[in-house]
Amino acid sequence: MSDFHDKRFPGESREYRAARDALLGAEIALRQQHASVVSLRSTLPLGGKLKQNYVFNEATGPGSETRRVKFSELFAEGKPSLVIYSFMFAPDADLSCPLCSSILDGLDGQTHHITDRINFVVIAKAPPNKIRDWADARGWTELRLLSSLDNSYNTDYFAESEDGAQWPALNVFQKCGEGIFHFYSAEQLYSPTDEGQQSRHVDLLWPIWNIFDLTPEGRGTDWNPKHAYK
């Protein structure tokens, strides 16, 4: 008899059920641990005040003129939190990072849900027309895409190295009466990893790995997303 529920799948053995119950116990513990981590994150004190009111270039659509927008203008009324995903697309690159593109393929479809509660934008160093063309090629229609070509946001918030190499970065900012403050960064990208693991700093935003983790093969160590599979 299971310690957790009375459901039985066709043909399952006692050995399977015992092993599955052990796994379920571990999954429940992981759920509890995740909730604990979320609670720790939500109670972080404010980080440093925004270094400057960066001005970004935003292309509003194919053939449209570029619009300039200040960082402070990214906060809609009644929404004090801003999530920014910085994707790897250098000014002189022909293609964006395929891994970042995979993440954004998924987030594009979720953007209208996300922005019902919070502010969410995507930033790259490439010029706005190049970002817009890439978005059109990928079929992104919902993401708010900004270029940091003319400011230092990427280097200040670790989406770019000192030598100009681009890095993926997820940062959260919060607006309050005292101004705009940095709140959170996915810092596992910069921390040591266990042998055989990548940083997994934004895996919870990236559903393909969670799907693979459900299978006997797991995520493996030699597969990464591509721009196309034909």
State which residues form the domain around 89.
Answer: 55-187
Residue 213 lies in a domain: no
Residue 209 lies in a domain: no
Distance from the first to the final alpha carbon of the chain: 48
For 116-125, write each residue's pLDDT tens digit: 999 999 999 9
| Strand stretches in 16-126, DSSP E | 55-59, 66-70, 81-86, 119-124
| Residues 135, 83 share a domain | yes
Residues across the chain? 230
Residue 32 lies in a domain: yes
For 192-214, write each residue's pLDDT tens digit: 777 777 767 777 888 888 888 88
Q: Provide, rounded to the nearest whole percent, the portion of the chain with pLDDT above 70.
A: 95
Residue 179 lies in a domain: yes
Rounded-to-integer distance, Cα 2 and Cα 18, Å: 8
Residue 159 lies in a domain: yes
Q: What pTM value is reported for the model? A: 0.90
For 18-36, write each residue's pLDDT tens digit: 999 999 999 999 999 999 9
What is the CATH classification number for the domain harbouring 156? 3.40.30.10
Residue 80 lies in a domain: yes
Q: How many domains does the chain have?
A: 2
| Residues 115, 87 share a domain | yes
Residue 123 identity (one-letter amino acid): I
Residue 110 identity (one-letter amino acid): Q
| Cβ-proximal residues to 12 (8 Å cutoff; 6+ apart), any chain | 20
For residue 39, pLDDT beyond 60: yes
